[in-house]
């Protein structure tokens, strides 16, 4: 997935990966990933996810999103007062306890984080093709200070049956990408026949897995 493809997705009336409710695995797994040292929640490729409203009740939220439209729609649709300013390589859209950085996630620096983070990745890793997944995780691991934790949601389906995005990211790849970290599989949802968010998914199986990754 390149920048042009992502921006084109947001030219659609409502992108197929957007959910109209909080993802059920987020509250279900929260108590097993949150730790007292976490200063904020980092949400890469955040779109206008309603999960950020849920997260805002627990920690300050820092979302990173390439496209302008979801940044503006998030605050408008949630009726939040917002201020806009240019900070380094990003346009910052800011309200109480929620800041969305509009720009390239790969330009995010460690200095823009407040300290140990809880990273919530619902659909960032699975939106990227294989080589970009490696680059994404390498950048994420460089960014995050010690004590950070990742709640990662991955998808698994037969790759011969469907072309992503969202891409299948099997458990063995998750373990390779986060080699040296502590990994725990928290939950598995069987989505076979149910589709992914707004997208129809005709595959022989479709599994969504929640991972706790401790750096």
32 is in an annotated binding site: no
Pull the structure tokens for residue 215: 């750096």
Predicted local distance difference test score (pLDDT) of residue 129:
93
Domain around 130: 3-214
Question: Who's near 75: CB < 8 A, 6+ residues apart?
Answer: 81, 82, 93, 95, 100
28: pLDDT strictly greater than 70: yes
Domain count of the fold of the chain? 1
> pLDDT-based confidence at 19, cuts 50/70/90?
confident
pLDDT digits (tens, 9 = 90+) for 61-101: 999 999 999 999 999 999 999 999 999 899 999 999 999 99
Q: Is the pLDDT of residue 3 over 90?
A: no
Ligand-binding annotation for 30, yes or no, is no
45 marked as binding residue: yes
We report the CATH number of the domain holding residue 127 as 3.40.50.150
> Residues 6 or more apart from 109 whose CB is under 8 A from it?
88, 143
**Is 161 assigned a ligand-binding role in the annotation?**
no
Q: Give the confidence band of 20 by pLDDT, cuts at 50, 70, 90.
A: confident
Whole-model pTM? 0.93
The DSSP symbol for 69 reads H
The Cα 82–Cα 180 span in angstroms is 40
Residue 14 — pLDDT band, cuts 50, 70, 90? low
């Amino acid at each position: 997935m390149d920048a042009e493809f992502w921006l084109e997705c947001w030219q659609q009336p409502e992108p197929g990966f957007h959910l109209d409710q909080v993802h059920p695995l987020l509250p279900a797994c929260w108590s097993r990933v949150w730790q007292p040292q976490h200063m904020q929640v980092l949400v890469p490729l955040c779109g206008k996810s309603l999960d950020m409203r849920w997260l805002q009740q627990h920690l300050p939220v820092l979302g990173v999103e390439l496209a302008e439209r979801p940044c503006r729609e998030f605050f408008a649709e949630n009726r939040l007062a917002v201020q806009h300013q240019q900070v380094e390589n990003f346009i910052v859209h800011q309200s109480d306890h929620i800041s969305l950085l509009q720009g390239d996630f790969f330009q995010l620096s460690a200095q823009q984080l407040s300290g140990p983070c809880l990273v919530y990745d619902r659909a960032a890793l699975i939106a990227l093709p294989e080589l970009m997944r490696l680059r994404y995780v390498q950048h994420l691991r460089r960014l995050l200070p010690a004590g950070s934790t990742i709640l990662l949601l991955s998808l698994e389906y037969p790759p011969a049956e469907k072309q992503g995005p969202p891409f299948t990211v099997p458990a063995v790849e998750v373990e390779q990408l986060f080699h040296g970290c502590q990994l725990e599989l928290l939950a598995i949802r069987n989505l076979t026949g149910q589709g992914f968010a707004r997208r129809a998914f005709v595959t022989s199986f479709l599994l969504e897995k929640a991972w706790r990754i401790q750096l």
